[in-house]
Amino acid sequence: MKVSNHSFWERGVDTVEGIIAVQNVSKHFGDHVVINDLSLTMGRPEIFGLLGPSGSGKTTLVKMIAGIDAPSSGTVSVFGEGMPNLKLMGQIGYMAQADALYEELTAKENLEFFASLYGLNQTKRQKRIVEVMEMVSLKSDLKKMVKDYSGGMKRRLSLAIALLHEPKLLILDEPTVGIDPVLRKTIWDKFESLRDNGTAILVTTHVMDEAERCDRLGLIRDGKMIATGEPGQLKRETNSSTIEEAFLFYGGAGHEN
Predicted confidence band of residue 2 (pLDDT cuts 50, 70, 90): very low
All structural domains of the chain: 46-58+87-250 (3.40.50.300)
Predicted confidence band of residue 9 (pLDDT cuts 50, 70, 90): very low
Q: What is the pLDDT of residue 249?
A: 94
In this structure, the dihedral spanned by the alpha carbons of residues 110, 112, 114 and 117, taken in order and rounded to 10 degrees, is -150
Q: What is the pLDDT of residue 89?
A: 85
Question: What is the Rg, in whole angstroms, of the alpha carbon atoms belonging to the chain?
Answer: 18
* Percent of the chain's residues with pLDDT above 90: 81
Neighbours of 152 (CB within 10 A): 15
pLDDT higher at 254 or 140:
140
Predicted confidence band of residue 54 (pLDDT cuts 50, 70, 90): confident
pLDDT per residue as tens digits for the range 184-227: 999 999 999 999 999 999 999 988 889 999 999 999 999 999 99
Predicted confidence band of residue 10 (pLDDT cuts 50, 70, 90): very low
pLDDT per residue as tens digits for the range 126-159: 999 999 999 999 999 999 999 999 999 999 999 9
What mean pLDDT value characterizes the chain? 90
